[in-house]
Amino acid sequence: MESDKPKENPLSDSILADDSEQGACGVAVLPSRLDRYAGAHQRALSMADYAATLGQRELSERLTDCGHWLAFRHYYTLDTVRLHEAFFCKKHLLCPLCAIRRGAKYLKAYMERLQTVQAEQPGLKAYMVTLTVKDGPDLWERFQHLRGSMKRMTQARRDHLKAPAKNRHVEFAKALGGVHSIEAKRGANSGEWHPHAHMVWLCHEAPDAAKLSQEWLQLTGDSFIVDVRPFHQDDMASGFAEVFKYALKFSDLPLEDNWHAFQTLTDRRLVDSFGCLRGVEVSDDFTDDPISDDLPFIEMIYCFMNGVKGAYSLTKFFLVDDPCPGAPPPVMPQKIVSEADIPY
């Protein structure tokens, strides 16, 4: 698979891994987090302008308002930062900021389930499996083809597990559980739509890529291209982040393609799970999980300042609750812009 350039793609796996920690990083790295969010919001503003040209005024306004204000809380006795409040449009197929926050929520939820599964079955190992179909000009037709092929693969797994003596073994049957997401982009060589699935398989026995390739060709009729890679067991988050980081690679799509994909894939199931990873509940609240109200914190309000290179600027901050007895006083942030300079 092609590697993404961090400066072009605001949804790298490291970003999701950082965000999934729910602000466990300290205030020193908050500027880099804000830079990532600013790049994502800048793309959303471009999409908002495009939506407005199509007469989608309400949607355009939601994209514009999404992430315009961000309220963080710095729990300075723990040096932990939480995204406490913001408005999100929840249009993750159009808005990279919502895609980042959605992916981080998925990653956190599935990593928590993985820890439980590994405690119960310590011998399980994780594998990244990527399945592709032939590129084509019709995104909906190619998406349906991929989904249909995956459903047939799932049914073959169920048939074998239910009656192994009657039904032939398939490589997918090695997976005791897993999760997948579907991504759509333009093929690098064909320029046509290239939907594919990123999957995590939890197995006791490694999948055979050659056998899986043959099985996949039988299912699709047009593609034998699969990729199987073991996870680095000491960095499972990065592997899972590959599954959840995006449904659309925004940096590679012109606005009109992005809009077409949004119309085609909205309300379609792009993430699904099975086996020991089925039933994971993912929060639809894109802010960070809260910390105890008993701890003192500094509230920091950031506003997106549009310009040649848009960025978030600190507009207001204040200390909430007195420091704990004996605790060192907090280092207060520097106010960067005045409220009079904020664009409304």
Tell me the pLDDT band of 325, cut-offs 50, 70 and 90: low
216-249: pLDDT as tens digits: 999 999 999 999 999 877 778 888 888 888 788 8
166-181: pLDDT as tens digits: 999 999 999 999 999 9
- Rounded to two decimals, what is the model's pTM? 0.86
The C-alpha atoms of residue 144 and residue 235 are separated, in whole angstroms, by 33
* Domain locations in the chain as residue ranges: 1-121+283-344, 122-275
The C-alpha atoms of residue 204 and residue 139 are separated, in whole angstroms, by 36
User: Is the model's pLDDT at 20 over the cut of 50?
Assistant: yes
Assigned architecture for domain 122-275: 2-Layer Sandwich (3.30)
Strand residues in 53-174 grouped as ranges (E): 69-75, 80-86, 125-132
For residue 18, what pLDDT is reported?
A: 54
Tell me the pLDDT band of 97, cut-offs 50, 70 and 90: very high
The C-alpha atoms of residue 262 and residue 118 are separated, in whole angstroms, by 36
Mean pLDDT confidence for 57-85: 95
124-151: pLDDT as tens digits: 999 999 999 999 999 999 999 999 999 9
Mean pLDDT confidence for 184-191: 94
- Mean pLDDT estimate for the chain: 87
The C-alpha atoms of residue 123 and residue 98 are separated, in whole angstroms, by 35
Mean pLDDT confidence for 86-90: 97
Residue 29 is classified by DSSP as G
Going 33 to 36 to 39 to 42, the CA torsion angle's sign is negative
Nearest to 23 by CA among 291, 331, 284: 291
251-267: pLDDT as tens digits: 789 999 999 999 999 99
313 to 9, 35, 301, 304: CA distances (angstroms):
22, 10, 8, 6
Residue 21 is classified by DSSP as T
